[in-house]
Amino acid sequence: MAIIVDNETKLVVQGLTGSEGRFHGLRNRSYGTNVVAGVTPGKGGQDVDGIPVYNTVADAVREAGANTSLIFVPARFAPDAIYEAVDAGIRTVICITEHVPAHEMLRVYTYVRPKGVTLIGPNCPGVLSPGKSNVGIIPAEVFQPGSIGLVSRSGTLTYQIGHEVAQRGLGNSTIVGIGGDPVVGSGFIDILEKFEADPETKYVVLVGEIGGDEEEKAARWVSEHMSKPVFSYIAGFSAPPGKTMGHAGAIISGSSGTAQAKKEALEAVGIRVGTTPTEVAELVAAAAAV
């Protein structure tokens, strides 16, 4: 098994005819993902390297059986693209688009959440289940199949830690980049819950960063509900207070949201926190070797 995407994924790319959508949509297909359709209003009847393009997501669901959507549209259209996918019956929506306004995402979140749809992003690298399916912009070549679940607010740190794990002869069940915006469709707890229920996942790595309190909430949830070993890395120990570092959600105020505060909260419930991505990989490898 894997979580969110797997061999049963039938992907529609919203924005497939654009340069980014085309590049990554075809790259996902080359990996083995079943890309069944693209959607661009007004371009229905065309195709992208043999992938049929429809005017609406509803058409892609009805004609091609799409069950997962990957969104590559400009920020001003991304909320409507999410609404359209959900209303068409898509059960998993992965939005790569960045610069989606937080107030728009609040509306999206409150609309999507009660419907039980899995929404990943926006401003995220996507989801990869090695050997099964790649939906997004994750460089799948640095990962290999295994039993380590990885969830991260950071894209590049996800890639680095996954590569470090692979270099030690280990692999990942699923890699999930939840995105670094203040409002995202799925938080750490949503993904941890899926990993806890996944028999293929034996260990979990949580990659956090400064800002907010999602890591602290995750620590409390792990202490109460998680039976599998969890390891962590927090980016931003050298970040000056009050500064936004990279992601819109990575801002700290006083002692709230600092890397040290997050590290202490995680360690207080038994989660081992590495000081570098390499150390995290070493901690997981040592646990897996026992």
pLDDT mean for each 10 residues of the chain (290 residues): 95 98 98 98 97 98 98 98 98 97 96 97 96 97 95 89 91 95 95 98 92 88 96 77 53 60 91 91 90
- Identify residue 94 by its one-letter amino acid code: I
Backbone angles phi, psi at 58, to 5 degrees: -60, -40
- Identify residue 236 by its one-letter amino acid code: G
Q: For the domain with range 1-122, which CATH number is right: 1.10.3720.10, 3.40.50.1980, 3.40.50.720, 3.10.110.10?
A: 3.40.50.720
Element (H, E) at 10: strand 10-14
Outline which parts of the chain fall under CATH 3.40.50.720. Answer: 1-122
Enzyme catalytic residues: 247
Gap between the terminal Cα atoms of the chain: 23
**CB-based burial, 139-172: b 16+ in 10 Å, e otherwise:** bbebbbbbbbbbbbbbbebbbbbbbbbbeeebbb
Backbone angles phi, psi at 244, to 5 degrees: -85, 125
The pTM is what? 0.92
Distances (CA, A) of 14 to 123, 181, 257: 15, 21, 35
Give CA–CA dist 278/274, Å, rounded: 8
How does strand 145-152 pair with strand 172-177? parallel
Q: With beta carbons less than 8 A apart as the criterion, state whether 92 and 71 touch.
A: no
Q: With beta carbons less than 8 A apart as the criterion, state whether 10 and 64 touch.
A: yes
Q: Which fold has domain 139-290?
A: Rossmann fold (3.40.50)
Outline which parts of the chain fall under CATH 3.40.50.261. Answer: 139-290
**By CB neighbour count within 10 A (0-12 exposed, 13-18 middle, 19+ buried), where does 85 fall?**
buried
- Identify residue 77 by its one-letter amino acid code: F
